[in-house]
Amino acid sequence: MENYDCNQSAERVLMDASRKKNQNRNRLLFIVITITVGVIFSVFSLIYGKMEIDIQKNMKADGMAVSTYIENGTADMTQQLTQLPCIESIGKEKFAGKLLDDSIKYCDCVITDVTGFEKMIRPAFTNVVGTYPEKENEIMLSTKTLQYLGIKNPEVGMEIELDFYWNDIFNTSGTGMQNFLLSGYFTEYQNQTSGASVAFLSEKSMEKNGLQWEPCRILIDHTKKYSSGSQIEHMLTNNIKLNEGQRIVSMNPAEYRAISEMMGSYGFAVFFSVMVLLSMFLFIYNILNISLEKDLQRYGLLQVIGVEQKQNIKVMNREMLKIGLTGSIAGAVLGASCIIQI
């Protein structure tokens, strides 16, 4: 005959007795819950990781981290955009000039503000070395342009002779062959298959040579990451007033495209997770249903000797809750370890 501590509560005595009586069942439930949570955790972690990779890939293909901009933007347009609650930040980008080789353009020269470069353009590049140009004669080039120039081992601060011209044909100040200092370089993916690349100039070079920001391209970072480009364009058209010559360009955001690809390529993974969850649920249900008859008989005998029904229910709930929590934690750890190994 088993001895019990007289100082223990009735619920504690019942829980200990129930745990010992249902050891095999509880062990099986724990294993099933662990496997179920582990599989689902692994599948959805892989889906999430693949989505993040696709988002980065789409950004690099676009050449910038934003999908919406306004051509020929002005200060008035910027003011209108800042009033919209869905706008997170605004950047400026101006295609100011070009680099030539025997009158053939091989690189566009762009000027951006700090927000435009750091938040909206730089995330689309990799292997960024150095900083954005600050001085008048500084320039930031892509590795593709450097290779075109025959420079295989670039160094920040090195002097490079380039044939530069402003896009404004009437502005001849600061054009022709001249020496630039390399402030930094980067790897881009957008123009890998095209003939032209992109370089960045400082705002000081634009100011000294009499150029103005307006008109420029206004880069828009908004909160509608999972809306289509046409939906975003429609929203902006209804909330801002465009002047003559201005137009909204809105592509499908990188996040929206990643979701669309997931629903096609990874839709089966979601379906598989649902089927696993359903199968395990039915399995657990059958186990509980089989053991329920014996539990009801035991609880009935306990009520005869004076155990209250609410005490029995409390014991059952605590037992199932403990198995569910421990199984879920173990499944999450199992799934995380599988992801790390992959």
Query: pLDDT of the chain along its 342 residues, tens only?
Result: 445 444 445 555 555 555 566 666 667 777 777 777 777 777 777 777 888 888 888 888 888 889 999 999 999 999 999 999 999 999 999 999 999 998 889 999 999 999 999 999 999 888 899 999 999 999 999 999 999 999 989 999 999 999 999 998 888 888 899 999 999 999 987 655 444 689 999 999 988 888 888 889 999 999 988 889 999 999 999 999 998 889 999 999 988 888 777 765 555 556 666 776 777 677 666 666 666 556 655 656 555 555 556 665 666 666 667 766 776 677 667 666 655 554
**Residue recorded with tokens 């992109």:** 198
- What's the whole-model pTM score? 0.70
How many CB atoms sit inside 10 A of residue 78's CB? 18
What length does the chain have? 342
Q: Are 187 and 127 in contact (CB under 8 A)?
A: yes
| pLDDT given at position 329 | 77
| pLDDT given at position 193 | 45
**What ranges in the chain are assigned the alpha helix state H?**
10-21, 23-62, 75-82, 114-115, 143-148, 203-208, 229-239, 254-265, 267-304, 309-341
Q: What distances in angstroms separate CA 214 from CA 81, 166, 217, 244, one per listed residue? A: 16, 15, 9, 14
